[in-house]
Amino acid sequence: MTADERPKVFENRFPEGVAAPGAPVRVQDPCTCFHQGRENHSGGKVGFHPEVQDTSAPGWLRLLELIDEAVADGREEFRPLPQMRPEERRQLVTLPAEIARLTAVKSLVVYGSNLVRIPPEIGAMSSLEEFVPYTSGRLHWFPYEITRCPRLVRSTVSTRAIYGNFKFRAPFPRLQPPRDSVTGADLARLDPARWGSTAISTCSVCDEPLAGRGLHQAWISLVVATDVLPLLVNACSADCLHRLPSGAGNHLPTAHQGGPVEQPPPR
């Protein structure tokens, strides 16, 4: 067999998706929010994942170490999961706010993660060009702040797992009623099953602190890099909500509250 006749061997781009010999294969918890393989009617009811991150878990502490290392060496790709044990990966349900420090990172890869939410601090990753949460089947939505990444042009998302996807039209969770004042509310200790996050500190639109203002949540589906993503907006006022752009084509054209909204038919 000549060199030209030998079959080509392609590099595995996602080694974290292959279990090591003898290691437990399962690194993701099951998700029953909606069926990811068939149409979901717009009147269906879904909710946010209620999991709260255990910040004492070895996986969380290891992730913080990896962020420190990435900041120190200025690396352009941040791909933490292959550097963690399977049981540590499974302990992660979100990323830490410290990802805001990864300003040199151009590629963020969390392939096959157990994540249920991405923090708004991703918007501070000013060099981010590529975002790959592919096969993260419990990740159904993204923070509006991801639109602040000015260089983000490539994404690989499991679109059948997201709210409002054009193939199956999974329903959106119903959001909390708008509040003109958050006085007396503990925005640092929120129930993620109700609010989507455990903490909300600044407006998704104007980036001003919510303290002394209100809290108006909304969904909007926008083109982000390669995909149309459902984005959760935490705005300080109705005025900020009115500043949102129009929704992506073949999706709901305006911001909405979720729940029993009529979406375009699936394709």
pLDDT value of residue 10: 42
Span 6-15, pLDDT tens digits: 555 444 455 5
User: pLDDT tens track of the chain, all 267 residues?
Assistant: 565 665 554 444 555 555 544 555 578 999 999 888 776 655 568 999 999 999 999 999 999 999 999 999 999 999 999 999 999 999 999 999 999 999 999 999 999 999 999 999 999 999 999 999 999 999 999 999 999 999 999 999 999 999 999 989 999 999 999 999 999 899 999 999 999 999 999 999 999 999 889 999 999 999 999 999 999 999 999 999 999 999 999 999 999 999 999 999 988
CA distances (Å), origin 147, targets 104, 135, 214, 225: 17, 22, 22, 9
pLDDT value of residue 113: 98
**Contact in structure between 155 and 146 (CB atoms under 8 Å):** no
**Range list of H helices, 76-225:** 86-90, 192-195
Mean pLDDT (the chain) is: 91
* Nearby residues of 86 by Cβ (< 8 Å), 6 or more positions away: 19, 20, 23, 24, 25, 26, 27
The C-alpha atoms of residue 221 and residue 31 are separated, in whole angstroms, by 22
pLDDT value of residue 81: 98
CA distances (Å), origin 98, targets 6, 74, 86, 113, 118: 46, 14, 22, 18, 12
pLDDT value of residue 3: 58
Span 43-78, pLDDT tens digits: 568 999 999 999 999 999 999 999 999 999 999 999
The C-alpha atoms of residue 202 and residue 209 are separated, in whole angstroms, by 4
* Exposure string for 210-220, b = 16+ CB within 10 A, e = fewer: beebbbbbbbb
**Contact in structure between 173 and 46 (CB atoms under 8 Å):** yes
Q: Left (φ > 0), alpha (ψ -120 to 50) or beta: where does 85 sit?
A: beta
